Amino acid sequence: MKLINCTTGTVIADDVRQAHNFWTRFKGLMFKRDMNRHAALHLSPCSSIHTFFMKFGIDVIYINRENEVVGIERHLTPGKIGGRFKKARSVIELPAGTLGNKVSTGDTLGFAEKIPQCNPEARH
């Protein structure tokens, strides 16, 4: 699955894995050695994260129910607790440094198997 910024039309990740049940959210990226530069992990429902037992840093996108970005953290190192964003309902984790300027607070994100499906009205 792909992750696209519908506001800008930018592909953020080409290989998005889902963690949508208790066990997959619990395990997350713990104990993994690394993460592909084009990959991401979508945790839902989820409003906060930690990097305990992780071996690499991550970039984090917090989104609300409408897939609007409500928070961003870059280069969250292992052994840390992520921020709290009041309206966050799910979280996307990416390898540290891959997020760059591909997303900003207020952007709308979309998930798609092949061709990203975004609401054209979301573009500025």
Burial zone of 79 (CB within 10 Å; 0-12 exposed, 13-18 middle, 19+ buried): exposed
pLDDT digits (tens, 9 = 90+) for 64-107: 999 999 999 999 999 999 999 999 999 999 999 999 889 999 99
* Total-model pTM: 0.87
DSSP-assigned beta bridge partners for residue 98 = none
- Tell me if 97 sits within 8 A of 75, measured CB to CB: yes
- Show the tokens assigned to 35: 């993460």
Residue ranges per structural domain of the chain: 2-103
Of residues 26 and 106, more confidently modeled: 106
CA distance 62 to 85: 7
**CATH domain 2-103 topology:** Jelly Rolls (2.60.120)
Choose among 98, 91, 85, 5: nearest CA to 57. Answer: 98
